[in-house]
A and B are shown apart, each in its own frame.
Chain A
Amino acid sequence: MRDEPTADEILAAVAAYLRAPASDPERAAFEDRVAAGAVELARRDLSLGLAAEAAELDRLHALLGPGSLDALNTELGARLRSGALELASPGVREHLWATTLDKLAIDQPRYPTYRAVLTEREASPPEES
C-alpha cells in the first residue's frame, strides 16, 4: 500500500514552494533539489502505484481471502503482531518482500539496501514456496 503524503499532496507542496521559494540562495539551491526529487517521487507513484497495489491485493486475497486492501492489510497486521502468521508461514515472506520492493521502487529506487537486495536477487532468485 502506497505511503503518505500522497502524490497529489506532494505535488501541491511543490507548487506552494514554487510560488514562494526560499530567499537565501544556499537554502534555495537545497530546496530546489528537494522539490525536483519530490516531483520524481510523485511521477513514480503515479506510474507504478496502481499496478503495485493491484498485485498486493491479489496476494492478500490468496493469503487471507476476500476483502479490501485496507481491511486485508489490517488483518495481516493483526496476525503478524500476534504471531499467528510469521515470516515462514506460506506466502508471507514472498508477500512482504514483494510489497516492500514495490514501495522502494516508488519511494527511493536508489536506496542502498534496495539496490543490494536487487543485486542479490539477480545473482540467486528466491525460491517459490
Chain B
Amino acid sequence: MSALERLAPRLAPGDVTVANLKRLSAGASQELWRFELVSEAGEVTPVIIRRAPGGARQSAITVGLEAEAAIMRVAADSDVPVPRIRHVFEPADGLGRGFVMDVVEGETLGHRIATSPALAEARTRLAHECGAALARIHALPLDRLPPLKAATPAELVAVWEASYRASGRVRPVFELAFHWLETNLPPPRAPVLLHGDFRNGNLMVGPDGLRAVLDWELAHLGDPAEEFGWICVPSWRFGQLDMPVGGFGSREDMIAGYEAAGGGVVDRAALQWWDIFGVIRWGIMCAGMPAAFRGADPSVERAVIARRASETEIDLLRLLETA
C-alpha cells in the first residue's frame, strides 16, 4: 500500500481510494501532481499535490510549503479566491514536504487570458476582480500568518542590485534605472502581506472571472503598490500594450476594484516607482539566466528567456523618459 493510499482517508470522508496519479510539471522550485479521490459510491474528486522537488529540497527565497499552505488557509477565511487546502504533509505521511489542495479548473496561460474569445466577457471585469483580491490579501491579519520577510523600498533596491551585480555584466540602462530608483525612493509604509508574484500564470481564470490566486511561494511583507507594479510589467501583456494589467485590463479598473473592496485610497503618483521597479526585477531575473543555462538547466528555453533581458531595457527606457 503506497503512502498516498494510506493518506487517502484523511483527505475525504468515507472509504476513499486513490486513482490516476499524474505528474503535471517538473518545476525547478515545486513539483505538481494531480490525482483523484474515489469514494465507495464511485464519486470522483480531483486534487492537486504541491510538493518540494524530490520531496525535500526548498529554495531559500520561497516561504516554504508549510507557510504557503498556512497563508492560503488564512486567505480563504477572508474571501480571497484560493484552492482549498485539504492536508499539509506531516513527517509520518512519508511523502516529504508539501500539501494537498482542491483543483480549480480554468485558464492560467497569460496569452489565452489576454486574447481568448471565450474569456472576452471575463476580461471586462478581471482587472476589477484582481484589485479586489489584492485589497483582501493586503488586509490579512499579520498575527495569524507565519513569520515572513519584510523589506523597505531601499532594501529592495539593494537586494536586487546585488543580484544584478552578481550576473557580472554591466547594463547601462539598468544603471540609469537604479540611479533613478535610489533618488526617488518612496517613503516606507506600514508593511502588509503581499502575494509577491501576482500576475498571469498564477491567476486561474474562467468565463466567470478570477477563480483562484495560486503560487504563494514568494509571499512577503511590503508596500501594497509593489503588486500593482508587478502585474503591470509590459512583458506579460501579450501584445495588448494598451491593457497594462496583465494584457487584460486597465490600471484604473484594478484600482477601482481595490478601493471598492476596502483597500484604501491608492496614491496614483506613487505607482510609477513600482512600475519601474517591477520591470527591472523581471530584467534582473532574465539577466541571471545565463548562469542557470550554463549550470543546472542548459535547455533551449532557458537560453531564449535569458535573451529577454533586452525587452526590459526598452521598457525601462520608455518609462524613464517620462519619469
* A interface residues with partner B (beta carbon < 8 Å): 3-5, 9-10, 13-14, 16-17, 31, 34-35, 37-38, 41, 73-74, 76-78, 80-83, 86-87, 96-97, 99-101, 103-104, 107-108, 111-114, 116-117
**Chain B interface size, under 10 / 10 to 19 / 20 to 34 / 35 or more:** 35 or more
CA distance A3 to B174 in the complex (A): 14
Listed A/B pairs (23) with beta-carbon separation below 8 Å: A3-B310, A4-B290, A5-B303, A5-B306, A9-B293, A13-B298, A13-B299, A13-B303, A14-B300, A31-B300, A34-B301, A83-B179, A86-B179, A96-B173, A100-B310, A100-B314, A104-B311, A107-B307, A108-B307, A108-B308, A112-B234, A113-B241, A117-B314
Binds A, one of B31-39, B129-137, B164-172, B207-215: B164-172
CA distance A76 to B314 in the complex (A): 17
B97 at the binding interface (Cβ < 8 Å): no
- Minimum C-beta distance from B200 to chain A (A): 15
Closest 7 CB pairs of A and B: A77-B170, A80-B175, A103-B310, A81-B175, A77-B175, A4-B290, A80-B176
Closest to B299 in A: A13
Whether A16 contacts B298 by the Cβ 8 Å rule is yes
Binds A, one of B9-17, B118-126, B253-261, B315-323: B315-323
Closest to A76 in B: B172
What residues of chain A lie closer than 8 Å to B290, measured between beta carbons?
A: 4-5
Closest to A97 in B: B317
Interchain CB contact (< 8 A) of B300 among A17, A83, A100, A101: A17
Closest to B239 in A: A112
Whether B308 contacts A107 by the Cβ 8 Å rule is yes
Whether A10 contacts B300 by the Cβ 8 Å rule is yes
Closest to A18 in B: B300
18 A-B pairs besides A3-B307, A113-B234 with CB distance below 8 A are A3-B310, A5-B306, A9-B293, A9-B294, A17-B299, A31-B301, A76-B172, A78-B175, A81-B176, A87-B176, A96-B176, A103-B313, A104-B310, A108-B308, A111-B311, A111-B314, A112-B234, A114-B311
Whether B310 contacts A107 by the Cβ 8 Å rule is yes
CA distance A76 to B170 in the complex (A): 9
What residues of chain A lie closer than 8 Å to B170, measured between beta carbons?
A: 73-74, 76-77
- Minimum C-beta distance from B289 to chain A (A): 9
What residues of chain A lie closer than 8 Å to B176, measured between beta carbons?
A: 80-81, 86-87, 96
Where chain B touches its partner, the secondary structure class is helix
What residues of chain A lie closer than 8 Å to B173, measured between beta carbons?
A: 96, 100
What residues of chain B lie closer than 8 Å to A5, measured between beta carbons?
A: 290, 293-294, 303, 306-307
What residues of chain B lie closer than 8 Å to A117, measured between beta carbons?
A: 314, 318
B309 at the binding interface (Cβ < 8 Å): yes
Whether A80 contacts B313 by the Cβ 8 Å rule is no
Q: Which of B157-197 contact A (CB under 8 A)?
A: 169-173, 175-176, 178-179, 183
CA distance A87 to B171 in the complex (A): 14
Closest to A60 in B: B172
Q: Which of B66-81 contact A (CB under 8 A)?
A: none
CA distance A113 to B242 in the complex (A): 11
CA distance A117 to B317 in the complex (A): 11
What residues of chain A lie closer than 8 Å to B294, measured between beta carbons?
A: 5, 9
What residues of chain B lie closer than 8 Å to A16, measured between beta carbons?
A: 298
- Minimum C-beta distance from B321 to chain A (A): 7
- Minimum C-beta distance from B163 to chain A (A): 15
Whether B317 contacts A100 by the Cβ 8 Å rule is yes
